[in-house]
Amino acid sequence: MKSKIITTLLASIGLFAAVGVAQAQTAADRVYVIDSRGEVAMSGAGLCWRTGFWTPAGAAKDPAGCKCDKDLLPKEVCEPPMAKAAGPKPSGDKVTVAADALFDFNKATLRPAGKAKLDEVVAMSKQIKLEVIIAVGHTDRIGSDAYNQKLSERRAASVKSYLVSKGVEANRVYTEGKGEKQPVTQPGQCAGAKSAKVIACLQPDRRVDIELIGTK
Protein backbone atom coordinates (compact mmCIF):
# COMPACT_ATOMS: atom_id res chain seq x y z
CA MET A 1 0.00 0.00 0.00
CA LYS A 2 2.80 2.37 0.92
CA SER A 3 4.52 1.61 -2.39
CA LYS A 4 1.39 2.50 -4.34
CA ILE A 5 1.05 5.83 -2.56
CA ILE A 6 4.62 6.75 -3.38
CA THR A 7 4.13 5.78 -7.01
CA THR A 8 1.01 7.93 -7.24
CA LEU A 9 2.76 10.89 -5.69
CA LEU A 10 5.68 10.54 -8.06
CA ALA A 11 3.32 10.41 -11.01
CA SER A 12 1.58 13.54 -9.78
CA ILE A 13 4.88 15.33 -9.32
CA GLY A 14 5.88 14.33 -12.87
CA LEU A 15 2.59 15.67 -14.27
CA PHE A 16 2.91 19.04 -12.54
CA ALA A 17 6.52 19.27 -13.65
CA ALA A 18 5.44 18.75 -17.26
CA VAL A 19 2.76 21.38 -16.85
CA GLY A 20 5.30 23.73 -15.34
CA VAL A 21 7.56 23.34 -18.36
CA ALA A 22 4.63 23.92 -20.69
CA GLN A 23 3.64 27.01 -18.75
CA ALA A 24 7.14 28.35 -19.07
CA GLN A 25 6.75 28.10 -22.85
CA THR A 26 3.41 29.90 -22.82
CA ALA A 27 3.23 33.48 -24.10
CA ALA A 28 2.38 36.03 -21.42
CA ASP A 29 -1.04 36.77 -22.88
CA ARG A 30 -2.15 33.15 -23.26
CA VAL A 31 -4.54 31.70 -20.69
CA TYR A 32 -4.08 28.06 -21.74
CA VAL A 33 -1.02 25.90 -21.26
CA ILE A 34 0.89 25.48 -24.52
CA ASP A 35 3.10 22.41 -25.01
CA SER A 36 6.41 22.15 -26.84
CA ARG A 37 4.57 21.66 -30.16
CA GLY A 38 2.76 24.94 -29.76
CA GLU A 39 -0.53 23.14 -29.10
CA VAL A 40 -2.86 23.54 -26.11
CA ALA A 41 -2.01 20.91 -23.45
CA MET A 42 -4.95 18.56 -22.89
CA SER A 43 -5.83 16.45 -19.87
CA GLY A 44 -6.62 12.77 -20.17
CA ALA A 45 -10.31 13.71 -20.14
CA GLY A 46 -9.79 15.94 -23.18
CA LEU A 47 -9.97 19.21 -21.28
CA CYS A 48 -7.63 22.14 -21.90
CA TRP A 49 -5.14 22.99 -19.20
CA ARG A 50 -5.65 26.54 -17.99
CA THR A 51 -2.96 28.81 -16.61
CA GLY A 52 -3.38 30.69 -13.36
CA PHE A 53 -4.23 33.78 -15.41
CA TRP A 54 -7.36 32.24 -16.93
CA THR A 55 -10.50 34.39 -16.90
CA PRO A 56 -13.55 34.32 -19.18
CA ALA A 57 -12.43 37.62 -20.70
CA GLY A 58 -8.97 36.22 -21.32
CA ALA A 59 -10.43 33.07 -22.87
CA ALA A 60 -12.45 35.21 -25.27
CA LYS A 61 -9.21 36.78 -26.54
CA ASP A 62 -7.15 33.59 -26.60
CA PRO A 63 -6.91 31.82 -30.01
CA ALA A 64 -7.87 28.54 -28.30
CA GLY A 65 -10.77 30.01 -26.34
CA CYS A 66 -13.54 28.70 -28.59
CA LYS A 67 -11.88 25.28 -28.80
CA CYS A 68 -11.49 24.94 -25.05
CA ASP A 69 -14.37 26.86 -23.46
CA LYS A 70 -16.92 27.56 -26.18
CA ASP A 71 -19.84 26.99 -23.77
CA LEU A 72 -18.54 29.69 -21.42
CA LEU A 73 -18.01 32.40 -24.04
CA PRO A 74 -20.58 34.74 -25.62
CA LYS A 75 -22.06 33.27 -28.77
CA GLU A 76 -20.87 36.14 -30.94
CA VAL A 77 -17.24 35.39 -30.01
CA CYS A 78 -17.24 31.88 -31.44
CA GLU A 79 -20.05 32.29 -33.97
CA PRO A 80 -19.65 35.72 -35.59
CA PRO A 81 -22.71 36.89 -37.52
CA MET A 82 -22.80 36.10 -41.21
CA ALA A 83 -21.79 38.93 -43.48
CA LYS A 84 -24.74 40.73 -44.98
CA ALA A 85 -25.56 39.79 -48.51
CA ALA A 86 -24.29 42.30 -51.01
CA GLY A 87 -26.89 44.74 -52.26
CA PRO A 88 -27.96 45.00 -55.87
CA LYS A 89 -25.13 45.85 -58.21
CA PRO A 90 -25.35 49.19 -59.97
CA SER A 91 -26.54 48.86 -63.53
CA GLY A 92 -26.23 51.34 -66.34
CA ASP A 93 -28.67 52.75 -68.85
CA LYS A 94 -26.97 54.38 -71.78
CA VAL A 95 -28.66 57.15 -73.72
CA THR A 96 -27.18 58.62 -76.87
CA VAL A 97 -28.36 62.12 -77.69
CA ALA A 98 -27.55 63.42 -81.15
CA ALA A 99 -25.45 66.56 -81.01
CA ASP A 100 -27.68 68.37 -83.48
CA ALA A 101 -30.54 67.98 -80.97
CA LEU A 102 -28.34 69.52 -78.29
CA PHE A 103 -26.20 71.98 -80.23
CA ASP A 104 -25.96 73.80 -83.51
CA PHE A 105 -23.17 72.66 -85.84
CA ASN A 106 -19.77 73.64 -84.42
CA LYS A 107 -21.40 75.02 -81.22
CA ALA A 108 -21.44 74.04 -77.56
CA THR A 109 -24.48 76.10 -76.48
CA LEU A 110 -27.55 74.02 -75.72
CA ARG A 111 -30.56 74.46 -77.99
CA PRO A 112 -34.14 74.41 -76.60
CA ALA A 113 -34.66 71.00 -78.19
CA GLY A 114 -31.48 69.79 -76.52
CA LYS A 115 -32.69 70.98 -73.14
CA ALA A 116 -35.90 69.03 -73.63
CA LYS A 117 -33.87 65.89 -74.31
CA LEU A 118 -31.84 66.44 -71.17
CA ASP A 119 -35.03 66.93 -69.16
CA GLU A 120 -35.86 63.35 -70.12
CA VAL A 121 -32.48 62.26 -68.80
CA VAL A 122 -33.15 64.04 -65.48
CA ALA A 123 -36.52 62.28 -65.23
CA MET A 124 -34.83 58.93 -65.85
CA SER A 125 -32.26 59.63 -63.12
CA LYS A 126 -35.06 60.13 -60.59
CA GLN A 127 -36.44 56.67 -61.31
CA ILE A 128 -33.32 54.97 -59.95
CA LYS A 129 -31.00 55.31 -56.99
CA LEU A 130 -28.46 57.31 -58.94
CA GLU A 131 -24.77 56.54 -58.57
CA VAL A 132 -23.30 58.57 -61.39
CA ILE A 133 -24.03 60.14 -64.77
CA ILE A 134 -21.28 60.03 -67.37
CA ALA A 135 -21.51 62.45 -70.30
CA VAL A 136 -19.08 61.88 -73.17
CA GLY A 137 -18.93 64.38 -76.02
CA HIS A 138 -17.98 63.45 -79.60
CA THR A 139 -17.42 65.38 -82.83
CA ASP A 140 -17.14 64.61 -86.52
CA ARG A 141 -13.81 64.65 -88.38
CA ILE A 142 -14.17 68.20 -89.74
CA GLY A 143 -11.54 70.42 -88.11
CA SER A 144 -8.25 69.70 -86.37
CA ASP A 145 -7.84 67.04 -83.71
CA ALA A 146 -7.03 69.63 -81.05
CA TYR A 147 -10.04 71.78 -81.93
CA ASN A 148 -12.44 68.83 -81.96
CA GLN A 149 -11.12 67.59 -78.62
CA LYS A 150 -11.86 70.94 -77.00
CA LEU A 151 -15.26 71.15 -78.70
CA SER A 152 -16.25 67.71 -77.40
CA GLU A 153 -15.18 68.69 -73.88
CA ARG A 154 -17.18 71.94 -74.00
CA ARG A 155 -20.26 70.07 -75.16
CA ALA A 156 -19.98 67.55 -72.31
CA ALA A 157 -19.47 70.43 -69.84
CA SER A 158 -22.62 72.16 -71.14
CA VAL A 159 -24.58 68.97 -70.55
CA LYS A 160 -23.29 68.75 -66.98
CA SER A 161 -24.12 72.39 -66.24
CA TYR A 162 -27.69 71.88 -67.40
CA LEU A 163 -28.17 68.66 -65.45
CA VAL A 164 -26.87 70.32 -62.29
CA SER A 165 -29.22 73.27 -62.85
CA LYS A 166 -32.06 70.73 -62.82
CA GLY A 167 -31.10 69.35 -59.42
CA VAL A 168 -28.60 66.60 -60.21
CA GLU A 169 -25.70 66.69 -57.73
CA ALA A 170 -22.58 68.04 -59.40
CA ASN A 171 -20.34 65.38 -57.87
CA ARG A 172 -22.44 62.70 -59.57
CA VAL A 173 -21.87 63.99 -63.09
CA TYR A 174 -18.60 63.15 -64.83
CA THR A 175 -17.69 64.53 -68.23
CA GLU A 176 -15.23 63.52 -70.88
CA GLY A 177 -14.45 64.54 -74.43
CA LYS A 178 -13.40 62.06 -77.10
CA GLY A 179 -13.08 64.53 -79.96
CA GLU A 180 -13.28 62.73 -83.31
CA LYS A 181 -11.66 59.52 -82.05
CA GLN A 182 -14.81 57.36 -81.89
CA PRO A 183 -16.90 58.01 -85.02
CA VAL A 184 -20.08 56.10 -85.67
CA THR A 185 -19.83 56.46 -89.44
CA GLN A 186 -17.64 54.02 -91.34
CA PRO A 187 -14.39 55.00 -93.09
CA GLY A 188 -15.15 56.30 -96.57
CA GLN A 189 -18.88 56.63 -95.84
CA CYS A 190 -18.86 60.44 -95.94
CA ALA A 191 -16.01 61.02 -98.35
CA GLY A 192 -15.20 64.41 -99.75
CA ALA A 193 -14.28 67.90 -98.64
CA LYS A 194 -16.37 69.92 -96.22
CA SER A 195 -19.79 70.62 -97.69
CA ALA A 196 -23.41 70.71 -96.58
CA LYS A 197 -23.80 67.14 -97.85
CA VAL A 198 -20.75 65.85 -95.96
CA ILE A 199 -21.76 67.69 -92.77
CA ALA A 200 -25.20 66.10 -92.93
CA CYS A 201 -23.65 62.67 -93.58
CA LEU A 202 -21.37 63.01 -90.54
CA GLN A 203 -24.24 63.96 -88.23
CA PRO A 204 -24.20 60.60 -86.33
CA ASP A 205 -20.63 61.33 -85.23
CA ARG A 206 -21.68 64.61 -83.60
CA ARG A 207 -23.23 63.20 -80.47
CA VAL A 208 -23.16 63.04 -76.69
CA ASP A 209 -23.30 59.67 -74.93
CA ILE A 210 -24.99 59.96 -71.54
CA GLU A 211 -24.81 56.95 -69.22
CA LEU A 212 -26.85 56.70 -66.04
CA ILE A 213 -25.56 54.23 -63.47
CA GLY A 214 -27.52 53.27 -60.38
CA THR A 215 -29.82 50.71 -58.84
CA LYS A 216 -33.54 50.30 -59.33
Range of the domain at 23: 2-78
Per the DSSP assignment, residues forming a β-bridge with 132 are 213
pLDDT at res. 174: 92
pLDDT at res. 52: 80
pLDDT at res. 23: 43
Burial 14-46 (b: 16+ CB within 10 A, else e): eeeeebeebbeebeeebbbbbbeeeebbeeeee
Q: How many domains does the chain have?
A: 2
Of 34, 52, 78, the one marking the end of a domain is 78
Give domain status of residue 83, yes or no: no
pLDDT at res. 83: 60
pLDDT in tens, the chain (216 residues): 443 333 333 333 333 333 443 444 345 678 888 877 878 888 877 888 888 888 888 888 888 888 888 888 887 888 877 666 565 666 666 666 665 667 777 888 888 888 888 998 899 888 888 888 999 999 999 999 999 999 999 989 999 999 999 999 999 999 999 999 999 888 888 988 888 999 889 888 888 888 888 887
Residues 26 and 123 in one domain: no
Residues 62 and 108 in one domain: no
Residues 70 and 136 in one domain: no
CA–CA dist 78, 31 (Å, integer):
17
CA–CA dist 71, 189 (Å, integer):
78
Q: Look up the CATH number of the domain holding residue 187.
A: 3.30.1330.60
CA–CA dist 154, 156 (Å, integer):
5
Of 33, 51, 78, the one marking the end of a domain is 78
What does DSSP say about strands 129-137 and 173-177: parallel, antiparallel, or unpaired?
parallel
Of 47, 78, 109, the one marking the end of a domain is 78
